[in-house]
Chains A and B, each alone.
Chain A
Amino acid sequence: MDIFFGKDTVMLGPEASDKWGLIESMLDRLVGQGFLGGQTGVNRDGLLEAVRAREKERGTGLGEGFAFPHGRIHGLAKPGLCLALPRNPVDFGAPDGVPARLVALMLVPDDQPQVLLKMMASFARFMGEPTARHMVLGMDDEELLAVLITEKVVNNGVHITAGDIMRPPTTMVRPDATLHDVTRLMSQLMIESVAVTEEDGTLLGHITCDHLFQLGMPDFFSQLKSVSFIREFDPFEKYFAEESKSLARDVMTSDFATVSEDATLLEIVFELAVHRRHKLYVVRDGKRVGVIDRSLVLDRVINI
């Protein structure tokens, strides 16, 4: 990847009261090192505006003390990266609530979102290893850190995989949960489907809202062309009441899609778009390790 990055865009121990202050100082460093040299139509304020807009949509904290503020800039000639290890961790709104100790500001031309995506994946994989994370966070030499990041991240041409973009699993139900509990959980969390797993995470099946409606709805309903001519139908509640006594294992379906952690982005989009799946379970040895749904792909791939 041809990216504007070097020891001069590595900042060790900058002071910042909040993320906005840190972002501005990182931007200043990039611009000060000649990132915009020779480019017309792009200026420092424009960059800041793009990063702010993206940040306001949703925090760019990825979790585990890592943040990736970024912006897609119209008219930019080449991507630029600034790396900062702030003196005090800065809150970037990460899902796990951990403030960022390593912040990578990335600016890319608006027609090159894949560069951003690959960079994020590459960073996440590298920093996912505890020894690498420990080493990076402990470095006190800009040049050495720049060389390391250039070798391990910038020049490390990765392919985006399911493992890079998946969301960690948060909800699941056990096979002996009652349908009453399952529906209550789904309504509380406002989720369309829930996985049924063993204690060790082995994926057994899943239950979707569509599936629940089909269970609660008498079969003949689906055969009718319309029901608008009927104004009142008492036995309706009876059908749902009968089903609520069932257990998750009785009503779950095995009609779900799984992908391995190294499934490519193309495979993922193919499953979601062509096979019209709402959700993909990322599995390792039959155990669920992550989830990818349509909104996640929109968020992490298309709207990045």
Chain B
Amino acid sequence: MIRVLVQPDVLDVAAEFDLHDAGGPGASASFIGRVRGEGGLVELFLEHHPVLTGAGLVDLAHAASDRWGLAAVTLIHRVGAMAPGETIVLVLASSSHRGEALAATEYLIDRLKTDVMLWKRETFADGRTQWVEPREGDDGRAERWG
């Protein structure tokens, strides 16, 4: 089962785990990305493309599912404004054995950084705003999957 969502609503991690695990595969791996509150950050805003962002996530989920023969993939990304501590992205991958589930989870979050049309803007307590630049190493991490 592949479940992909791009949503402004708060992400209910526990509820998503329950939905994802309904099939009961042997191994489930997860990645939860949260908003870091460093440097006086008060808001993180996620801009997306109304069509291409969702399509990119669906492509990624299918690619991972095909490559590792997964039983289930859940890929949920929030968009819009969020506060430090809130969950911004959830990746769940399940398979019969742990190796495939762990590798697929890492692949999905690495590729998400470079292949999906999402942009982050930070707002700080002093009113300053800045668009987040790609981190050095993001491209390398994404490319090592070939």
- Is A bound to B? no
Residues of chain B whose beta carbon lies under 8 Å from any beta carbon of chain A = none
Residues of chain A whose beta carbon lies under 8 Å from any beta carbon of chain B = none
